[in-house]
Structure 1
Amino acid sequence: MNDRPVLVTPPMLARTYSGRAYEDPWDLVTDYQRVLEYTGEHPNASPGGVASALDLPRGRVRPWIDDGAIPHPVRGIQTAESRGWVPLTEISEVFDPINRLVAWVCSRGTIKPETYGPYVRIESSDDRERFESLVTQLGLEAREHRTDDSLRSTELTIRDDGAVLGRLLTCLDAPTDDDTRAVAPQYLIDVSEEAQREFARVYLENRAVYWEFNDRWLIDHQNRSDRYRRSLATFFQTLGAEADVHEDAVSVDDYFVSELGIEH
């Protein structure tokens, strides 16, 4: 029996969209489903008849029936379901690459709030290879957003359904440009230690720098709150690390990092 917590549900994904006239975008999804069910049973019903029977505004129903319009939250859920992204649990086939992708965005990226596209910074050919391989596991393709110059690093984003994936990642607490996450992703509480360690490995591989003078790895996080840094340190500590919080950073002992397979 599958008793693993569901980490992302269709209602959670729907609520990343605008509901327009709906306070809760999930209600838009359920109304659309009601219309489909009713027209399936009454194929000759007019938009006005359907609206009257379901107590919905006629102007809302007509595009769904006459034009085949699909509300954005519904389309997003359909895409996510077709790719096996929702409902998402730890035993989902796509969980491992999604878990690692959240670590990528948290450690070296962001979700653009206007498009929900995920973007990550690439600093080497090895970075590029790792990220492109990860995206390929989800049946997607990475593309370059900005070439490297003297001031800014190269960024990679994701083609095609990347915006739907970005919405899914925000459900797992991946950060957007216009927010400051107060704590590390909370879904990690509900997954196995193996999944937690994989998240930690990707995070440290992307963000940490080895300091030989004190034999520790430093994660520079000037762009995050002190509460976030404390939360991140606590997460590493639950996995057995000696983690300390500094003014703008978190440090982790070399033994823990080497146990994750990262060398300096």
Structure 2
Amino acid sequence: MSDSPLLVAPPDLARTYSGRAYSDPWDAVEDYQRVLEYSGRRPNAGGQAIASALSLPRGRVRPWLDGSIPRPVQGIQTAESHGWLPLSEDNEHFETINRLVAWVCSLGTIKPNLFTPYFRYRSDADRDRLEALLETLGLEPQPFRTDSGPRSAEISISEDGAVFGRLLVCLEAPTDDETIDIAPQYLNDVSKAAQSDFARVYVQNRAEHWEWNDRYVIEHANRSDRYRRSLATFFATLGADADVHEDAISIDRWFVEQLNTGSVNAV
């Protein structure tokens, strides 16, 4: 049996949905399962009988018997069909998912209402790297904006993107309307190798070389001071000499080289 902590379970994903009649969307999943199980045991039972036996409103049970599936259930089924749930470090897809959380945190966002993730990139090489990650998960990259100047181009996901975005949110990837104050906390529960993977993507995406002091700066004016301090602490636990600045953090060149990030832009 695996000793790796469970990072995302079906109830976590369910709770990213609106519960409508339920204060806890996971209760809808459990009620749906109860209805199907009861109907399977008693195939001749009608909607009213099942509703009475399970103490559920008949108007809720009838659509489920007719084939309607609650949205939280659909999301869980989609995630499980891709092999994303349950998610621990031992999951074969964790390495890729971890890197994509780092991508959203460093150079991306998730739309809060639709949960669609958008990943920015700054070069053709970065685009190829991003598309390879998405395709590893069986996801089809979809160009969102052509680079028309100083802003980066973006890639979204053409199918099942919203479910994947919800999975990323479960791992504390930020949404557009969210001010995050701390780096994703699941990183405390994974190996140093996984933490280094996260750091490597972050540095590849956002670090630029300060030639005057031979350090690398990660500019983050779009994040709070507390988040920048949390990010600096995270890099420090991996061995970086990390400093916090007004709108950025900086890390030493030796640490970047140890991450084997390749070339980054000099300023």
TM range (shorter): over 0.9
Q: Which amino acid aligns with 2:109?
A: T
Name 2:258's counterpart in structure 1.
259
Q: Which amino acid aligns with 2:112?
A: P
Name 1:12's counterpart in structure 2.
12
Correspondences of 1:27-66 after superposition (within 5 Å): 27-66=27-66
Partners in 2 of 1:210 and 1:111 — Cα distance?
Answer: 28
Answer with 20-29 or 151-160: which moved more: 151-160
Partners in 2 of 1:233 and 1:151 — Cα distance?
Answer: 27
Give the RMSD, CA atoms, in angstroms. Answer: 0.8
Correspondences of 1:226-245 after superposition (within 5 Å): 226-245=225-244
| Structure 1 residue runs without a partner (length 5+) | none
TM-score relative to the length of structure 2: 0.97
- Per the TM alignment, residue 114 of structure 1 is displaced from its structure 2 partner at its CA by 1.4
Partners in 1 of 2:129 and 2:154 — Cα distance?
Answer: 14
Helix, strand or coil at the partner of 1:7? strand
Name 2:142's counterpart in structure 1.
143
Answer with 115-124 or 245-254: which moved more: 115-124
Q: Which amino acid aligns with 2:50?
A: V
Over 2 Å off, 4+ runs: 150-153
Q: Which amino acid aligns with 2:214?
A: D
- Per the TM alignment, residue 121 of structure 1 is displaced from its structure 2 partner at its CA by 1.1
Name 1:119's counterpart in structure 2.
118
Q: Which amino acid aligns with 1:8?
A: V
Correspondences of 1:59-98 after superposition (within 5 Å): 59-66=59-66, 68-98=67-97
- Per the TM alignment, residue 146 of structure 1 is displaced from its structure 2 partner at its CA by 1.1
Name 1:163's counterpart in structure 2.
162
| Structure 2 residue runs without a partner (length 5+) | none
- Per the TM alignment, residue 212 of structure 1 is displaced from its structure 2 partner at its CA by 1.0
TM-score relative to the length of structure 1: 0.98
Partners in 2 of 1:120 and 1:54 — Cα distance?
Answer: 44
Partners in 2 of 1:121 and 1:97 — Cα distance?
Answer: 17
Partners in 2 of 1:153 and 1:212 — Cα distance?
Answer: 24
CA shift digits 1:38-72 (9 cap, x unpaired): 00001111111110110000111110012x00000
Answer with 227-236 or 121-130: which moved more: 121-130
CA shift digits 1:174-207 (9 cap, x unpaired): 0000101110000000000000001000000001
Name 2:192's counterpart in structure 1.
193
Partners in 2 of 1:91 and 1:198 — Cα distance?
Answer: 15
Helix, strand or coil at the partner of 1:210? strand
| Number of residue-to-residue matches in the alignment | 263
- Per the TM alignment, residue 112 of structure 1 is displaced from its structure 2 partner at its CA by 0.6
- Per the TM alignment, residue 87 of structure 1 is displaced from its structure 2 partner at its CA by 0.6
- Per the TM alignment, residue 147 of structure 1 is displaced from its structure 2 partner at its CA by 1.2
Partners in 2 of 1:164 and 1:109 — Cα distance?
Answer: 16
Partners in 2 of 1:131 and 1:151 — Cα distance?
Answer: 20
Q: Which amino acid aligns with 1:244?
A: D
Helix, strand or coil at the partner of 2:128? helix
Q: Within the alignment, does 1:101 sit opposite 2:77 as a pair? A: no
Partners in 1 of 2:200 and 2:73 — Cα distance?
Answer: 35
Helix, strand or coil at the partner of 1:156? strand
CA shift digits 1:51-102 (9 cap, x unpaired): 0110000111110012x00000000001111111011000100000000000
- Per the TM alignment, residue 151 of structure 1 is displaced from its structure 2 partner at its CA by 5.3
Partners in 1 of 2:246 and 2:65 — Cα distance?
Answer: 58
> What percentage of residue pairs aligned between the two structures are identical?
66
Q: Which amino acid aligns with 1:19?
A: G
Name 2:220's counterpart in structure 1.
221
Partners in 2 of 1:232 and 1:24 — Cα distance?
Answer: 32
